[in-house]
Structure 1
Amino acid sequence: MASTDEVLTLASVQEAHKLIKPFIHLTPVLTSSYINTLASTPQTAESLSQTQWSGHPPAKPVLRIHFKCENFQRIGAFKARGAFHAIERLKQSPDFDPARGVVTHSSGNHAQALSLAARESNIPAYIVMPTISNPSKVSATRGYGAQITFSGPTAPEREAAAQKIIDEKGAVLIPPYDHPHIIAGQGTAALELLSQVPRPLDAIITPCGGGGLLSGTALACSESKTKVFGAEPEFEGADDGKRGYYSGRRIESVKSLTIGDGLRTPVGRIPWGIIYERRLVDGMFSVTEGEIKQAMRLVFERLKVVVEPSAVVGLAVALFNEEFRRVVEREGGEEGWDLGVVFSGGNVDLGALGGLFGGE
């Protein structure tokens, strides 16, 4: 693969899109007048009573939300974009021996994506997955023909297991987010979104785990007036991106069992360079587990589409994060904002889904 110091630009994302178009779906953009009305309605004093905004007048944003549905992407998540781009770029390298295969470590969606992309090029795929991975994602990854090795949940444990496979098989590592080919591929979702909405978007908000999708989105918007924001769960410190962004120091370790299982990883070095050091992301926001559940239920009931918890953190920010809503009110004024929200995936285990809402 190319050097991890490769400088990424809007052109990198555009070239990636040309390369992967034969392999991916052009996913739809959905809207909901009900959700727009809900998002544009001030929160109640009761809902703000346990927050830092208690006693303050609620924000009055005007929002028109455009949902980029990567839950309809191949393997059910945006990760297919980066995986296919990485494989296609790898195949262009004269030093690559396909028989040695590729390896990665992933809790699920990247695992499935790389397995599919490798299978379509007849390349062996070796996947390291944490023992706590979603069972449906493990099953799907195995179904694409990958050889799975289980490891502990932390990034160092997963990386060590992947390195052992590299040493034994000679496989090429394709990381889940911390590589320029992955980032450029992930940015193609935002590139499409910008062209699919009939009027210019004021902002796009995406989930942030390792930061591949967020940094790729920032690159896609880097020569436009569209602002870019990241969204994270706050449970057990899963909002490492936000904390790092506002402290000026990348946080390298995260241990969280947030229901947003795709967002349990720290922001990678290369995404951090784009998000923070190049200042291509305009802000980071976080939400509670309860707010994620409310947003997820809303999507099921109103949009009638299946999403996983990680996918709705951006919507949850738009609905419940008063700080973000005040930004929209202040900068959007009476006209408001056209906001792109990326639904990152829809690979949710039905048994776990029942557990999420069963006690309500």
Structure 2
Amino acid sequence: MSESTMPSEAGVHAAAASIAQILPPTPLLPVEIGGVRCWAKAETLQPVGAFKIRGGWWRLSNLPENERARGVVAVSSGNHAQGVAWAARRLGIPAVIVMPRDAPKVKLEATRALGAEIVLYERPGEDRDEVAARVLEERGGTLVHAFGDPWVIEGQGSAGIEITEQLGAQPSRILVCCGGGGLAAGLALACPDAAIVPVEPEGWDMVGQAVRSGEIVRVAADAPATICDALRPDATKPINLAVLKDRAGPCLAVSDEKIRAAQRFAFSALNLVVEPGGAAALAAALAGKVAIDASTVIMLTGGNTDAESFAKTITDL
């Protein structure tokens, strides 16, 4: 498979089999919302605190030996960074991660602790893809894109295989926190009978706008600030749109206020620490933006948040 090749359902199953050899499945927890019992997939409990470990592992484990020696370069605000760094350390592959200087401190420190080299850029002000391109030109290596890579999409989709095995059937719908659409696309491939409901921050619904218009849409220059550092790509990629255009919907957007409420709910009802970007799907469910039933699954995608900001969220009611 080349980087221009489309991901496949068979590839998702292969990724799931590989990941099952190194990681236990994350819990599928019952949760009651509006009198309806549904399910929450706790990807917050992955070794790196987020689902990104799946795509990082599947991408890097498929690198040929000659490419492994040259290393990898990734761009991330933190969760993909840790997923790639974790896989790179396990596989003995050098990793350079391009990260925004304003990324949460906990994510920067965790990525360094996993042995990756970090190259910082200014956000806003610098184009992260241009920074990564300079690193690749200077050092060589393989770019591991956070969402626009077929192996990464397949790896993320392994969560859907786990969900189906845990439920004993495919879910009716999956509410999924969405940045560039890598996880949403992977789940669409993994669970072809399930409705895929991407949830993005208000003003950053690049996947939703792309699905509705049928073409890539870039974020507005005056896009509002959001607490969801993990859900702020400028645009989705053609590979993600190709998978999602006939599969995703409704595509939803939620406010920071609703996301903070979801973080508090996850902490009180599930005893889980969920970062803002990891709580977007739960926020949509709690706000009644989409109907849920007994086989609905809500993705809790990440739990990497600074203690100070999380404490403020759960105490400022």
Distance of 1:64 and 1:247 partners within structure 2: 34
Q: Which residue of 2 aligns with 1:267?
A: 236
Q: Which residue of 2 aligns with 1:257?
A: 225
Deviations 1:212-257 (A, max 9, x none): 00000000012xx3211111111xx112222222233321336553
Q: Which residue of 2 aligns with 1:352?
A: 309
Does residue 210 (structure 1) correspond to residue 180 (structure 2)? The answer is yes
Distance of 2:53 and 2:254 partners within structure 1: 26
State the Cα distance separating 1:94 from its structure 2 match.
5.4
Deviations 1:299-330 (A, max 9, x none): 101111111111121111112144x23xx5xx
Q: Which residue of 2 aligns with 1:298?
A: 265
Report the 3-state secondary structure (helix = DSSP H, G, I; strand = E; otherwise coil) of the residue aligned with 2:119.
strand
Q: Which residue of 2 aligns with 1:27?
A: 26
Distance of 2:263 and 2:26 partners within structure 1: 19
| CA contact 2:74–2:144 (8 Å) conserved in 1 | yes
| CA contact 2:163–2:170 (8 Å) conserved in 1 | no
Q: Which residue of 2 aligns with 1:289?
A: 256
Distance of 1:85 and 1:281 partners within structure 2: 24
Report the 3-state secondary structure (helix = DSSP H, G, I; strand = E; otherwise coil) of the residue aligned with 2:48.
helix
With over 3 angstroms needed to count, the CA separation of the structure-2 counterparts of 1:165 and 1:196, relative to structure 1, is same
Q: Which residue of 2 aligns with 1:39?
A: 34
Q: Which residue of 2 aligns with 1:332?
A: none
| CA contact 1:256–1:264 (8 Å) conserved in 2 | no
Q: Which residue of 1 aligns with 2:49?
A: 76
Report the 3-state secondary structure (helix = DSSP H, G, I; strand = E; otherwise coil) of the residue aligned with 2:127.
helix
Distance of 2:119 and 2:49 partners within structure 1: 22
Gaps of 5+ in 2: none
Q: Which residue of 1 aligns with 2:5?
A: 6
State the Cα distance separating 1:7 from its structure 2 match.
2.6
One-letter amino acid matched to 2:244:
I
State the Cα distance separating 1:292 from its structure 2 match.
0.8
State the Cα distance separating 1:75 from its structure 2 match.
0.4
Q: Which residue of 2 aligns with 1:309?
A: 276
Does residue 191 (structure 1) correspond to residue 161 (structure 2)? The answer is yes
With over 3 angstroms needed to count, the CA separation of the structure-2 counterparts of 1:169 and 1:11, relative to structure 1, is same
Does residue 109 (structure 1) correspond to residue 79 (structure 2)? The answer is yes
Report the 3-state secondary structure (helix = DSSP H, G, I; strand = E; otherwise coil) of the residue aligned with 1:31.
strand
State the Cα distance separating 1:199 from its structure 2 match.
5.3
Report the 3-state secondary structure (helix = DSSP H, G, I; strand = E; otherwise coil) of the residue aligned with 1:74.
coil
Distance of 2:124 and 2:182 partners within structure 1: 18
Distance of 2:209 and 2:115 partners within structure 1: 38
One-letter amino acid matched to 1:352:
S
**Equivalence map 1:90-129=2 (5 Å):** 90=63, 93=64, 95-96=66-67, 98-129=68-99
State the Cα distance separating 1:133 from its structure 2 match.
0.5
Does residue 170 (structure 1) correspond to residue 140 (structure 2)? The answer is yes
With over 3 angstroms needed to count, the CA separation of the structure-2 counterparts of 1:131 and 1:226, relative to structure 1, is same
Residue identity (%): 33
| CA contact 1:23–1:84 (8 Å) conserved in 2 | no
State the Cα distance separating 1:159 from its structure 2 match.
1.0
Distance of 1:151 and 1:216 partners within structure 2: 29
State the Cα distance separating 1:25 from its structure 2 match.
2.9
| CA contact 1:286–1:321 (8 Å) conserved in 2 | no
Report the 3-state secondary structure (helix = DSSP H, G, I; strand = E; otherwise coil) of the residue aligned with 1:218.
helix
With over 3 angstroms needed to count, the CA separation of the structure-2 counterparts of 1:155 and 1:4, relative to structure 1, is farther
Distance of 2:232 and 2:70 partners within structure 1: 30
One-letter amino acid matched to 1:246:
R
Distance of 2:310 and 2:150 partners within structure 1: 34
One-letter amino acid matched to 2:132:
A
State the Cα distance separating 1:132 from its structure 2 match.
1.3
Deviations 1:20-58 (A, max 9, x none): 2223231111113xxx2x424xxxxxxxxxxxxxxxxxx
Q: Which has the larger radius of gyration?
A: 1
Q: Which segment is superposed worse, 120-129 or 181-190?
A: 120-129
One-letter amino acid matched to 2:213:
S
With over 3 angstroms needed to count, the CA separation of the structure-2 counterparts of 1:199 and 1:87, relative to structure 1, is closer
**Equivalence map 1:212-251=2 (5 Å):** 212-222=182-192, 225-234=193-202, 237-251=203-217
State the Cα distance separating 1:128 from its structure 2 match.
0.5
Q: Which residue of 2 aligns with 1:17?
A: 16
State the Cα distance separating 1:129 from its structure 2 match.
0.2
